[in-house]
Amino acid sequence: MSTRKESGGEDPVIERREQLISIFEKGEKPAERWKIGTEHEKFVFARKDHHAPSYEEKGGIHTLLIGLTRYGWEPVFEGENIIALSGSDGAISLEPAGQLELSGAPLDNLHQTCAETGRHLEQVKYVGDLLGLGFLGLGMWPDKTRAELPIMPKGRYGIMLDHMPRVGTMGLDMMLRTCTIQVNLDYSSEARMAKMFRTSLALQPLATALFANSPFTEGKPNGFLSYRSHIWSDTDPARTGMLPFVFEDGFGYERYADYALDVPMYFVFRDGKYIDAAGLSFRDFLDGKLSVLPGEKPRLSDWEDHLSTAFPEVRMKSFLEMRGADGGPWSRICALPAFWVGLLYDDSALDAAWDVVKDWSMEERQVLRDSVPKLGLDAPIGGGRQLRAIAGEILQIARMGLSNRARLDGAGSNETGYLSALEEVVARGKTPAEVLLEKYHGEWGGDLTRIYAEEAF
């Protein structure tokens, strides 16, 4: 989740509806300037006993952040607490229970993205070795109860933790017990954004299946392949889901702005502090009628903050965020941006991918989304077929798109190699979660502590 800093420079009061739309319009870039931003989270654990370290304990999360400053990362404070780091590779931030996230810098190609991931993992592993900490690449804590997990000292998290139980049964699990990989991509126009949004939203369940990696809860199989994805089904229906309006004629910036305006607020950030506005209306804020700030109208930064509190399967800010994947190992951190860049950044690939999904009904899309957390590649896509029937075809399209991009590394290789981890999933016909379950029931003999050695970075 985002780490808020005080706005620098101009931050105008919102007086006109056009200012809401301007956030999306300013994101438009010609294709030659499109970037790739990759975000990935990991669980931090103490090697001696596998507990999740608190912020303040000796050798805990605060100490970890301090240790990473040896690499030039600059501390970001909230009050007296370091809650993030800023540097040339983007930002390192904390999820609510101490999950460590790298929000990578906007980069030109996947070679740079994977190199950035490698630098980050080498840094955290070095500092972790000094502190006796390890890092786990999964979609959900395999063995921790909510009560066993610490809470990080970030103001927005306190507000969200209070609000989540009012609107869903699993919001606290989302905040405290999950990790994801995401990729942020650019668009050149409103029409291009709409086509990318529709295609990626329809195919988000395929990404969920290919990256499914959260089959355990509190030490035992939970009956799902991506329990992380299932958690989103009852987190907060007002700010999650498949957004049927995206597939309607005329979808564009204004329609997404209307959706975001109807998402209930969480907070307002003023003078370095978060003001609780949970459940209040941004439309009231526009009219100067927000009860916690009476008479005050929002600034552009408030709208940007608010956009970051909607959690659909694909989210728009001044770029598009793909949000369907469980956390995983290094190879899959590199594979997620490869998957989406291949499908969405090349015209021929985008056309081909849309052709695969354009005739699905909204009911079929929703059934697929609801089924994939439990069934993975066996989830239904209509016509008596399963998701696995199109998985290979979609990966071939992504490979074509990356080949067409022709972005070469120093050895002359293009970006297609980063898809290999996903091609292996399709070739073996089993999601990563199913491989973990086979180990659990087989060589691990039901001993889930083995996961800390075998799935740690």
- Domains located in the chain, CATH noted: 17-263+310-454 (3.30.590.20)
Tokens of 234: 């009852």
Average pLDDT for residues 268-282, to the nearest whole number?
A: 96
Please state, for a pLDDT cut of 90, what percent of the chain lies above it.
Answer: 97
> Is residue 342 a contact partner of residue 401, using CB atoms and an 8 Å limit?
yes
Could you tell me the pLDDT band of residue 246, with boundaries at 50, 70 and 90? very high
What's at 71, amino acid-wise? Answer: Y
How many DSSP H helices and E strands does the chain contain?
17, 17
Could you tell me the pLDDT band of residue 10, with boundaries at 50, 70 and 90? confident
Cα separation, 27 vs 319, whole angstroms: 6
| pTM exceeds 0.75 for this model | yes
Tokens of 415: 């970006």
Q: What is the chain's mean pLDDT, rounded?
A: 97
Give the three-state DSSP class for 260.
Answer: helix
Predicted confidence at residue 9, as pLDDT, reads 67
CA angle, 327 then 333 then 339, to 5°: 110
Predicted confidence at residue 1, as pLDDT, reads 54
Burial state string for 395-416 with b = 16 or more CB within 10 A and e = fewer than 16 = bbbbbbbbeebebeeeeeebbb
Average pLDDT for residues 279-300, to the nearest whole number?
A: 97
Cα separation, 58 vs 62, whole angstroms: 9
pLDDT for 5 beyond 70: no
pLDDT tens for each residue of 380-418: 998 899 999 999 999 999 999 999 999 999 999 999 999
pLDDT for 2 beyond 60: no
Could you tell me the pLDDT band of residue 161, with boundaries at 50, 70 and 90? very high
Tokens of 307: 């956009």
Predicted confidence at residue 52, as pLDDT, reads 98
- In which residue are the tokens 């590779």 written? 89
pLDDT for 134 beyond 80: yes
pLDDT tens for each residue of 196-227: 999 999 999 999 999 999 999 999 999 999 99
